[in-house]
Amino acid sequence: MPEFRPGTPDQDAYLEELVAAGLLVRTGVHGVYGRSGTFEKVRNGFDELVTRTAIPDEAEALRFPPVLPRHNLESTGYLKSFPHLAGTVFSFEGTEGQAAQMFEAASKHEDWSEHQHQTDLVLMPAACYPVYPAVAARGPLPEGGVTVDPGGAYVFRHEPSGDPARLQMFHMRELVRVAEPETVATWRDAWRDRAIDLLRGLGLDANFDVATDPFFGRRGRMMAASQKEQELKFEILVQIAGPEPTAVASFNYHQDHFASVYGIETSTGEVAHTACLGFGHERIVLALLKTHGLDPQAWPEDVREQLWPA
């Protein structure tokens, strides 16, 4: 059972400050907030800064809605590694009588799940998931592979928490590289260094570290140990509302995992490798607000200039 993780006193206080300033709006569910125009202006300014930084990559833009065909989640092993984080879409398929029963139970806020049936969709767990089957469907990669920009997509993770930086629905700005192993590994490491410069350039005290994914269960602990040993995941961490610094960006080298699932081949017929990077939009906005204050109009001129160039 994914448990609700209460916020620390500092996290509770920061959330309260953000709500009082109108930057976040409570919905009644932890980790799901409305956001003000000011919050969105910072988020979009950051997203555009990433786009400008990525110009040399000549990435191909591809956008997907924030739902994923259930088949894709089933094929990639997500339910083995992260069964506790997945969100699935259910809907009503029944008679008028059953609809009335469902409505009756729902009106009293009782359990109405027996009237719901699984659909072909799940909520998007990461912005890169729909990219791999789309690239695979085109046949072998061109020479040098491809770089895809799936934009800042909404993703879902079932991890309710009182920490304003731990959301259930948030924007993940990804870039995805699909190519020969060496090309992919070099790209991942180069972006980690570019991203550190980008975040430090915005005045954030950003540092990177080897990291692991929150794999489920005992088997998951072994997977995390192996991931760490092979340095397959790096994170950039920034202090937000503590106590530990929070990951604001991740750099993942999947080796042949996704390419094998979908049969992506290089131009010479080898199994391709993939890597992705993901900036957590909301965490970056929260880190900027924490560092420079809750009024972006009063932020240092060089920070404003990078987010909103004249």
List contacts with Zn ion (CB under 5 A). Answer: 126, 128, 276
Does 235 contact ligand AMP by CB under 6 A? Answer: yes
**Binder of residue 159, out of ligand AMP, Zn ion, none (CB less than 5 to 8 A by kind):** ligand AMP
| Residue 276 interacts with, from Zn ion, ligand AMP, none (CB under 5-8 Å by kind) | Zn ion
By CB under 6 A, residue 124 contacts ligand AMP: no
HSE (side-chain half, CA atoms, 13 Å) at 71: 4
User: Does residue 280 touch ligand AMP according to CB under 6 A?
Assistant: yes
> At its nearest, how many Å lie between ligand AMP and the CB of residue 33?
11
Closest CB 64 distance from ligand AMP, rounded Å: 16
Other C-beta atoms closer than 10 Å to the C-beta of 161 total 18
SS3 at position 123: strand
From 37-45, 107-115, 202-210, 280-288, span contacting ligand AMP (CB under 6 A):
280-288
Q: What is the number of residues in the chain?
A: 310
Binding mask 236-275 for ligand AMP (x = CB under 6 A): -----------xxxx-------------------------
User: Collapsing DSSP states into helix, strand and coil, what is residue 303?
Assistant: helix
Chosen from Zn ion, ligand AMP, none, partner binding at 81 (C-beta under 5 to 8 Å by type): none
Helix and strand element counts for the chain (H, E): 11, 12
Among ligand AMP, Zn ion, none, partner that 188 touches (CB below 5 to 8 angstroms by kind): none
Closest CA to 10 of 241, 291, 289, 292: 241
Residue 122 interacts with which of Zn ion, ligand AMP, none, CB < 5 to 8 Å by class: none
Task: Quote the CA–CA distance of 154 and 176 in Å, as a whole number.
Answer: 16
Which residue number, 161 or 252, has a Cβ lying nearer to Zn ion? 252
Asked if omega into 243 is within 30° of 0 (cis), the reply is yes
Phi, psi of 39 (to 5 degrees): -60, -45
Q: Write down the H helix ranges in the chain.
A: 9-20, 37-53, 70-75, 78-81, 96-107, 131-136, 181-201, 217-229, 257-262, 281-292, 301-307
User: Which residues in the 26-85 window bind ligand AMP by CB under 6 A?
Assistant: none
Residue closer to Zn ion by CB (options 211, 289) is: 211
Please give the torsion angle defined by the CA atoms of residues 134, 138, 142 and 147, in that order, rounded to the nearest 10 degrees. -10
169 binds ligand AMP (CB under 6 A): no
| Residue 135 contact partner, candidates ligand AMP, Zn ion, none, CB within 5 to 8 A by sort of partner | none
* Interface ranges with ligand AMP (CB under 6 A): 126, 157, 159, 166-167, 170, 172, 235, 247-250, 278, 280, 282-283
